[in-house]
Amino acid sequence: MQELLKIVLDKKERIYKARQEFKSDFAVLCFSLNLSYLFIKNNKNEVKILFEFALNLLKDNFIIDNIYINYNDFFALFSIKEDAFILKNKAMLLENEHSFSRLFDFDVYFKNNVIKIRKQARKCFICDELALTCMRNNTHSKQEIYAKIDEFFDDFFVYLSYKYPIKNDFSTKALRALLYELSISPKLGLVDSLSSNSHKDMNFFTFIDSASELKWYFDCFYTLAYKSSKNDFSRLKKLGILAENAMFKATKNINTHKGALFLFAIMIFVCARCKKDLNFENISKISKKLCANLCSNELNKNLNSIGGICFKKYGIKGIRDEVEQGFINTFKAYNFYKKQDDFKELRTLFYISSIIDDTCLLKRCNYDINKYYHIKNTCKKLSLLKSKNYVKIIKKLNYFYVKDNLSFGGSADILSLVLFLKFINF
């Protein structure tokens, strides 16, 4: 403890000495990060990214005459052509701009005198008490504090990925895959370019509107993979919620791509992580690590959702299990796809439906497990059927599927992934 206290005091002394030596005819803004020494030591790369973000923020907002930056202690001094009191007001606004801005600490000096205009000291970022009171009383445990700081960093990396997405080929190919899957016809109850089929609340153009919105977020998933180095799933989930909200806004609250969005968020993130050595083993390995314990963590908490009902009734885990198992069925389907000579997309769609647990289909069977397995068996036969009248047979079957309000959206989402793998020349 004494050693740690010495490190903290030595840092304060270095900042004070640097400020005394810093030459300025104007107001001086001293910026540092409100983080403990141990947190910085254990998260140096992510702290550096936040520090540089804040430096750029200050450069964009103020006319700077002189600057001193210390990357070892993560603090900076700015000589700024601004009235000291106005500067302090602006700095206080920056401290409250985002949730993670609570990690920014701005002090303003003029001729070595600190400028104080804050009517009340800053509040604790965990509770509503004054920060100084919580510090003196040791109100919060180290675990609570670190958990909250982790949350701020999650918010920061989500913001960074959303605000400054990196355009990339994976996102483009993912969008193309969604549009290709949509255009395939006939698909037994699924929406295509000719009909809404079993989905009376949506049509071809609803899907176009939705897919168009998702491209931006595909870039965000890719960016997060490059910027983030911890808490990957929780950060990806936060970005996914933003994407989902954008989808619902574009479709007027119709669920067009929720499952596909989930799958592509994981797939694009994972592909970005192993871009230099892109193969099945690496994709599967990273996906398993990223989504470890996903089914047990999420399905048990949402037993009233479609996925939760399927899990509670029959132990069926749906697409969560697909990513937790490292896309094993997706790669089986991709290998099946490559072997086909005719109607490759249709045959692969039916093959997928025969091997995966599609909770969308089970729900449309009114959770009748016998009916569900009967349809899966039909799909298996269709995947292997050789006939000159192949399309005619599917069109006839489609009439009964639409009449019975059946479709298998989960299988269509996996087909989109198969097409994505094709487009990236996997």
DSSP per-residue letters across 40-100: HHHTHHHHHHHHHHHHHHHHHHS-EEEEEEETTTTEEEEEESS-HHHHHHHHHHHTTSSGG
Classify residue 120 by burial, with Cβ atoms within 10 Å: 0-12, 13-18, 19+. Answer: exposed
Query: Does the residue 62 lie in any domain?
Result: yes
Mean pLDDT of 146-173: 95
Shared-domain flag, residues 413 and 267:
yes
pLDDT of residue 175: 98
Name the percent of the chain lying above pLDDT 90: 78
Show the domain range for 315.
167-423
pLDDT tens-digit series, residues 344-385: 999 999 999 999 999 999 999 999 999 999 999 999 999 999
Higher pLDDT, 38 or 407: 407
Mean of the pLDDT values across residues 125-129?
83
Cα gap 133→349, rounded to integer Å: 62
State pLDDT tens for residues 105-114.
999 999 888 8
Whether residues 132 and 258 share a domain: the answer is no
pTM (predicted TM-score):
0.92
124 and 55: one domain?
yes
- Look at residue 157 and tell me if it is in a domain: no
Task: With respect to residue 299, please indicate whether it lies within any of the assigned structural domains.
Answer: yes
Same domain membership, residue 101 and residue 15:
yes
User: Per the domain annotation, does 160 fall within a domain?
Assistant: no
Q: What confidence score (pLDDT) does residue 5 get?
A: 65
Same domain, 301 and 357: yes
Q: How many domains does the chain have?
A: 2
Q: What is the DSSP letter of 29?
A: E
pLDDT tens string 175-232:
999 999 999 999 999 999 989 999 999 999 999 999 999 999 999 999 999 999 888 9
Is residue 46, in this structure, part of any structural domain at all? yes
In this structure, what CATH number is given to the domain that contains residue 233? 1.10.4200
Q: Which of 152, 184, 213 is the last residue of a domain?
A: 152
Asked if residue 319 and residue 193 are part of one domain, the reply reads yes
